């Protein structure tokens, strides 16, 4: 069940990132992040009222850290989408998003089976190969364009995953609501520091409201997956979100899926089988 929940999280993240990437090319990436994170906060907040739990102060502390990581990750991800190709930025971000929870889980004493570790080992190069798109440095369609934003986004998402993994099931969903709420000022403060426009303006940014249910479903599914299984496994499976982003970019935006990306997608499928079978 934990693997299935993490896979649902990956699919929701991939679809949400695709929508956010399309909007980021039409308006400010930071305003898209603000609207999307605010919408997610409202969705999670509504669910928190009906989910029983007894959160402790330390759970909210982890939630604040998770929110800061998630907000910064979303901002950098959409900025990368606005300047580069989704098929490059999303997979690069996923590498950091996968590595951080794996390291934290290992330090915490998690000991998955050998088959699961094999799946994790296969997933990391698979994610990287998905991002290996030929291009000329400096051009919007190249690997170089947006790769730094992808790396920073991955670090932020990795912190999000690792911090949420410290919230037990008994805490309910209020910590998750706090995490989503904290992501909004994190995006705003980072945008101000970078002197980037973040105030939502225009019709295009309004569509970011629909990212809320997707983002809420993604983080909620991940939280449940981490609570029912290993953080390291949930983090890696949830970090497979670029696969759906790449496929959507190919189908809708007609971005070409190169041979190396196809191999990477195949490795991601093998990783899912190994993790699920372990």
pLDDT digits (tens, 9 = 90+) for 217-243: 999 999 999 999 889 888 888 888 877
The dihedral of CA 170, 175, 180, 181: what is its sign?
positive
Distance CA 180, CA 42 (A): 9
Burial of 103 (0-12, 13-18, 19+ CB in 10 A): middle
pLDDT, tens digit, 9 for 90 and up, residues 159-180: 999 999 999 999 999 999 999 9
* pLDDT tens column, 114-135: 887 887 788 778 777 765 655 5
How many helices (H) and strands (E) the chain has is answered by 11, 0
Q: Which sequence spans correspond to the domains of the chain?
A: 2-277
Q: Cβ distance 81 to 28 under 8 Å?
A: no
pLDDT of 230: 87
User: Tens digit of pLDDT for each residue in 82-110?
Assistant: 776 666 677 778 877 888 888 888 888 88
Dmax (CA) for the chain in angstroms is 53
Q: From 78, 34, 74, select the one nearest 209 (Cα to Cα).
A: 34
Mean pLDDT of the chain: 84
């Amino acid at each position: 069940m934990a693997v299935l929940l993490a896979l649902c999280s990956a699919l929701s993240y991939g679809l949400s990132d695709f929508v956010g990437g399309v909007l980021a090319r039409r308006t400010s990436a930071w305003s898209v992040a603000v609207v999307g994170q605010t919408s997610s906060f409202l969705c999670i907040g509504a669910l928190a009222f009906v989910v029983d739990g007894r959160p402790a102060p330390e759970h909210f502390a982890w939630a604040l850290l998770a929110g800061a990581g998630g907000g910064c990750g979303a901002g950098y991800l959409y900025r990368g989408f606005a300047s580069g190709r989704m098929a490059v930025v999303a997979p690069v971000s996923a590498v950091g998003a996968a590595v951080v929870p794996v390291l934290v889980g290992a330090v915490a004493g998690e000991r998955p089976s050998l088959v699961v570790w094999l799946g994790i080992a296969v997933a990391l190069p698979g994610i990287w190969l998905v991002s290996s798109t030929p291009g000329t440095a400096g051009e919007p369609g190249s690997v170089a364009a947006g790769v730094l934003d992808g790396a920073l986004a991955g670090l932020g998402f990795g912190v999000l995953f690792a911090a949420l993994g410290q919230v037990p099931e008994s805490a309910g969903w209020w910590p998750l609501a706090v995490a989503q709420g904290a992501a909004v000022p994190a995006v705003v403060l980072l945008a101000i520091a970078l002197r980037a426009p973040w105030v939502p303006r225009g019709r295009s940014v309004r569509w970011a409201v629909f990212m809320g249910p997707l983002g809420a479903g993604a983080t909620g599914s991940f939280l449940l997956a981490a609570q029912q299984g290993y953080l390291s496994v949930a983090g890696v499976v949830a970090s497979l979100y670029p696969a759906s982003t790449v496929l959507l970019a190919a189908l809708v935006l007609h971005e070409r899926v190169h041979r190396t990306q196809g191999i990477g997608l195949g490795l991601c499928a093998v990783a899912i089988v190994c993790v699920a079978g372990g």
